[in-house]
């Protein structure tokens, strides 16, 4: 069947990069670049001898943990929220609706 307008699929949905929404992907990319830069600076300081090896390893470990926490945060925020409804059923009768309307009359 031919239509008079073109059908484009997917333009209504937000763009996904590596399974994440575009905003969160770029936020994660910025955090990752910042943390890699800090790790390189720490390794440079360790190489020149201004910090000890133990201090450098602890700082690199903490920044690595921060990076994985940022990945977890971005993936959690990028997924759409799922709504879970109660599985209990409630039945309304006409008498229930009538008593509710008598208590709170519509003006």
Query: In the chain, where does DSSP find H-type helix?
Result: 22-48, 53-78, 94-103
Taking a C-beta distance cutoff of 8 angstroms, is the pair 82, 76 a contact?
A: no
Give per-residue pLDDT as tens, 43-101: 888 888 888 888 888 888 888 898 889 888 887 877 666 667 777 777 778 888 888 78
The domain segmentation of the chain, as residue ranges, is 20-80
| Exposure string for 6-34, b = 16+ CB within 10 A, e = fewer | eeeeeeeeeeeeeebbeebbebbeebeee
Distance CA 75, CA 69 (A): 10
**Beta partners for residue 20, in sequence order:** 17
10, pLDDT greater than 60: no
């Amino acid at each position: 069947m031919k239509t008079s307008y073109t059908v484009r699929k997917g333009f209504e949905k937000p763009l996904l990069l590596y399974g994440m929404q575009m905003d969160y992907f770029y936020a994660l990319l910025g955090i990752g670049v910042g943390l890699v830069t800090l790790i390189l600076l720490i390794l440079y300081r360790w190489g020149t001898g201004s910090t000890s090896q133990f201090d450098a390893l602890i700082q690199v470990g903490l920044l690595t943990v921060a990076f994985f926490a940022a990945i977890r945060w971005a993936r959690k925020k990028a997924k759409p929220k799922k709504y879970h409804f109660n599985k209990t059923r409630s039945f309304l009768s006409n008498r229930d609706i009538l008593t509710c309307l008598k208590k709170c009359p519509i003006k």
